[in-house]
Chains A and B, each alone.
Chain A
Amino acid sequence: MTVPSSSYKATAAPIAADTDAPARASLGELAQRHLSKLVVAPSFAAILVFVYGFILWTVYISFTNSRMLPSYDLVGAEAYEKLWRIDRWYVAIENLLIFGGLFIGVSLAIGIVLAVLLDQRIRGEGVLRTIYLYPMALSFIVTGTAWKWILNPTIGIQEFVRDLGFPNFTFDWIVQQDTAVYTLVIAAVWQSSGFVMALFLAALRGVDQEIIKAAYLDGASLPRIYWGIVLPSVRPVFMSAFVILAHLAVKSYDLVVALTGGGPGYASDLPATFMYEMTFRRNQISIGSASAMMMLATVVAIIVPYLYSELKGGKRV
């Protein structure tokens, strides 16, 4: 996912040393070196404008009184004050906490269990892995169509089980105000847990076989070997998986649109749908921008410490 820190080291290698030596830099080499910069320049300029410039632009807009069209009159933090007085925003935040917490927790649990189970010399492992991971290849707008149907009480699982002879069976979370957000968890876990499995499986395969053999010969049982030796040694993967999932949770948008549309009412809104609604549908551009800044702050708070520790850790090794 991130730059493996080892590759940072590997690159600080011979070529750099050569080109940095001024004595050997002929005119041709000089041109070549600038050519390298020229090649990267368009991409870098595009990122500078379209990412960092746009973020500053959004920051600016969030301090204006823009409504239907962006205005450039600064009015201070008004939009933020308004944002934090909107009930719908609190619903979105609360949903993000519920959704994010459950999504991360359950995805990690299922991912780890599946990885450990698949690691037992399973016949057909390749096929199973393919099945567990395919949801990541499909847009949620696509699979959401099926989930919406499955979760719909009058035609989905509820009806199915009632037809089996349980007329009182009820599973109508998607149409209830206080449970709709849990259907987002079901579908999001379905999409991402296979991926967590893949991360952990790769890590498990990297654990030193000799230690395990030694523990086994000492009489340790299989569960104890996993719990005591294997899982602790893949600790870094927990961190990566957590950061990836947290980051996916904050960005979740397609999921809500496809499954609940934020409803019933706005009961299953998340910050991303709130932002879209305010900016493009309700003519509250400055409030939309303020909410986007809140999302940015959340993601940065998750990502920066992680990247920092990754890079710092890499240097130590």
Chain B
Amino acid sequence: MSSLTSALPPAEGMGPRVARWGLYLILLLFAAYYLLPLVVMVSTSFKSLDEIRTGSLLSLPRDISTDAWTYAWTRACIGADCRGMAPYFMNSLVIVVPAVIISTLFGALNGYALTKWRFRGANVIFAMILFGSFLPSQVMLLPMAQTLGFLGLAGSAAGLILVHVVYGLAFTTLFFRNYYVSIPDDLVKAATIDGAGFFQIFTKIMVPLSLPIMVVTIIWQFTQIWNDFLFGASFAAGGAQPVTVALNNLVNTTTGVKQYNVDMAAAMIAGLPTLVVYALAGKYFIRGLTAGSVKG
């Protein structure tokens, strides 16, 4: 991946030099624009309320105080429940971990079956699985709420796990299918001749080869499900709500003095897991993004 302009000789002289400074200036200004909300969030979360009142939007905290973080984590009121963000953070974990594992597993099996053991209509089935993910979730919300009710899963973490697994299948299947397509069929054929069966080939040959796409899929699913708000807001009740819904309730509570530092700390708490994953494995996230960007 070389830069386009590397085909051209390097620029010389004063004019291009000035242009280059301008170029960097523009790029840095954009960087500032993208960073602004994060900077405001982080710096405000470490300020005391007094300092917020006297200081300005962009000023950095004079005395770094972690009070807002502790308060947001343990004591902030989400509705009438004043246990802080901690239990809701745990709710999200309880939903995200099984949902990611199950949907990734199914995606890998589907991708394998659809590429290496092709059957008549495999393409149509894949197209139908994929097409569903383009459609707005709003057309499925009400029936989903009803169905969860019939199944006795309304308002529970299990219900949300089910929802996220089903609506994640399109992407996990897409990722693995497109990855397995590039693995030579001869590998599978040779193993079949040696007498290996469907699942044996999957666990012995395909899975060991799948590490990169597995990372992409897990990161993608983790980010999507952790950040979900619509399903959480529609299907989870009270104490079972995920962290995004709790955050929204916290921020929109209008009683009492508005504690902006607590709001910002709570937002950071809700955003930190995906932010950390992005910082550590951004490359894989971006790969998933370009492959699965259609999901809103």
A residues in contact (CB < 8 Å) with B: 1-4, 7-8, 10-11, 13-16, 18-19, 29, 32-33, 35-37, 39-40, 42-44, 46-48, 50-55, 57-58, 61, 70, 110, 114, 117-122, 128, 130-143, 145-150, 155-157, 159-160, 163, 190, 194-195, 198-199, 202, 204-205, 207, 209-210, 212-213, 216, 222, 230, 243-244, 247-248, 250-254, 257-258, 261, 271-272, 275-276, 279-280, 285, 288-289, 291-293, 295-296, 299-300, 303, 307
Contacts and interface: CB of A to CB of B under 8 A. Distances in A.
Given A47-B129, A157-B57, A292-B141, 12 more contacts: A13-B185, A14-B189, A117-B27, A121-B3, A133-B286, A137-B275, A139-B229, A145-B263, A160-B56, A198-B286, A213-B8, A257-B248
Interface string B204-242: 000000000000000000010011111001100000000
Contacts of A292: 136, 138-139, 141-142
Would you call the interface of chain B mostly helix, strand, loop, or mixed? helix
A138 B275 contact: yes
Interface of B: 1-8, 20, 23-24, 26-27, 30-31, 33-38, 40-41, 44, 52, 56-58, 106, 109-110, 112-119, 122-123, 125-132, 134-144, 146-147, 166-167, 169-170, 173-174, 177-178, 181-182, 185-186, 188-189, 192, 197-198, 223, 226-230, 233-234, 244, 247-248, 251-252, 260, 263-264, 266-268, 270-271, 274-275, 277-279, 282, 285-286, 289-294, 296
20 contacts: A7-B177, A14-B185, A14-B186, A15-B118, A39-B110, A39-B198, A43-B173, A47-B128, A48-B128, A52-B132, A120-B20, A139-B270, A141-B267, A145-B247, A145-B251, A195-B293, A210-B7, A212-B4, A222-B5, A295-B138
Contact of A15 (B189, B227, B278): B189
Contacts of A138: 227, 271, 274-275
B185 A15 contact: yes
B230 A253 contact: yes
Given A146-B40, A160-B57, A213-B7, A10 B140 contact: no
B198 A32 contact: yes
B173 to A, nearest CB: 7
